[in-house]
Structure 1
Amino acid sequence: MLIKEVMKKPIVVYDDDDLSNVIKLFREKKISGAPVLNKNGELVGIISESDIVKTIVTHNEDLNLILPSPLDLIELPLKTALKIEEFKEDLKKALKTKVKDVMTKNVIVVKPEMTINDAAKLMVEHKIKRLPVVDDEGNLVGIITRGDLIEALI
């Protein structure tokens, strides 16, 4: 079976999109990743939920909870509140991050005439979940995911 028989129309994002927009799109379309295009419509990367999660930074502060002193017991609620505020600020910054700053740039692609077996081998070999499908000129024409491969077996 050929990739062109099972590939789907790709839902794309652009390299200058904010992550907040990408997250909304992923939830709305029930997807976990998408090809990334530049303003000229050229495939320049791929972004996944794991790329987004990696951008969220948290601060791990040692709160010294073993045999706390009386002063620690007074400071603990304040330290916890500050930590939550720091996390909120980090999250706000992360959501403003541009796709081009966190996407995977070296994209492995497949051609429509390749077999689904070829796609499966690439996914396993490179530990990836989706492959953009490009024509001979390098234009994005589809996407194939692990789910598409499984669906094709039925």
Structure 2
Amino acid sequence: MNATVKDVMSTHVIAIRENASFKEIATRLREHAVSAFPVIDKEGRVIGVVSEADLLPKEALEGDVPSVLHSLGHRREESKITATTAADLMTKPAVTIGPDEPVSHAARLMYSHRVKRLPVTGKDGQLIGIVTRSDALSVYSRPDTDIHHEVTKDLILGTFLCDPASFKVTVKDGIVTIEGTPETAWVGRDIVDAVRHVDGVVSVHDRLSYPPSNTPYYSSGVPSGLF
């Protein structure tokens, strides 16, 4: 099982229109105890994100002389001091994700862009949900028994066509320990690599006894048996 964004996202999304006022944004951020809102246009398409960080310059820097702002590298913040609507305040373009993308991709986007949530958009760009850091981490609450079943039945038997009885698989707190002797070293390494990508797996302890490599004999760079 590879969890997708639609499996973990919330469809109850609080968004604001592009013409929302500074006061409305600040009030709603506090009321809903969130740090950011997606900003949508008249058709419901996501056009940006406005956060507490976008509003803060007005309180923190208003009144400072321009030379001070420039010296502090606050050119962008300078424009936010006078901004009065979401369209002026928002960060754009918004970092969004589609509902069918893997949760791991959502996690990478949030990590690389240093954001706490991603608006989820359909093919037309309309807002259909929101996925947060905690949503992305929810895959780690998967029961150990489910992980064990996927590793033994879906991967070892279903994908690699190996006898599960040839392996001993234990799962505790998301940590998978796999023992046994695979048919080939290549198969063993592929199984371990596949287990690392199973939803909910925290770590893999590779305890396999690898047989000698059965790499075909090469002569002058050409594998034997091809001619």
- TM-score (ref. length: structure 2): 0.49
Higher normalized contact order (CA 8 Å, seq sep 6+, divided by chain length): 1
Residue 12 in 1 paired to residue 15 in 2? Answer: yes
1:80-105 residue CA offsets vs partner (Å, 9 max, x unmatched): xxxxxxxxxxxxxx697111111011
Q: Which runs of 4+ in 1 moved over 3 A?
A: 58-61
1:136 aligns with 2:139: no
1:98 counterpart letter in structure 2: T
- Runs of 5+ unmatched residues, structure 2: 66-80, 142-227
The CA deviation at 1:28 is: 1.3
Q: What letter matches 1:58 in structure 2?
A: E
* Contact in 2 for aligned 1:12/1:34 (Cα 8 Å): yes
Identity of aligned residues (%): 31
Q: Is residue 13–residue 130 contact of structure 2 (8 Å, CA) maintained in 1? A: yes
- Cα gap change, 1:96/1:104 in structure 2, threshold over 3 Å: closer, same or farther? closer
User: How far apart, CA to CA, are the structure 1 residues paired with 2:24 and 2:82?
Assistant: 8
Q: 1:53 to 1:41 in 2, by over 3 A?
A: same
Q: 1:16 Cα deviation (Å)?
A: 0.5
1:53 aligns with 2:56: yes
Pairs aligned (count): 123
For residue 6 of structure 1, report the CA deviation from its aligned partner.
Answer: 1.1
- Bigger strand fraction: 2
The aligned counterpart of 2:96 is: 109
1:122 corresponds to: 109
Query: Is 2:4 the counterpart of 1:2?
Result: yes
The residue that corresponds to 1:146 in the other structure is: 133
Alignment correspondent of 1:38: 41
Q: Supply the distance in 2 between the matched residues of 1:40 and 1:17 (Cα, whole angstroms).
A: 15
Gaps of 5+ in 1: 62-93
- Secondary structure, aligned partner of 2:49: strand
Q: CA deviation at 1:59?
A: 3.2
Larger Rg: 2
What SS is found at the alignment partner of 1:28? helix
What are the Cα deviations for residues 87-144 of structure 1, in whole angstroms up to 9, with x where unaligned? xxxxxxx697111111011112111111111000011111122111011222110011
For residues 93 and 111 of structure 2, the distance between their equivalents in structure 1, rounded to whole angstroms, comes to: 17
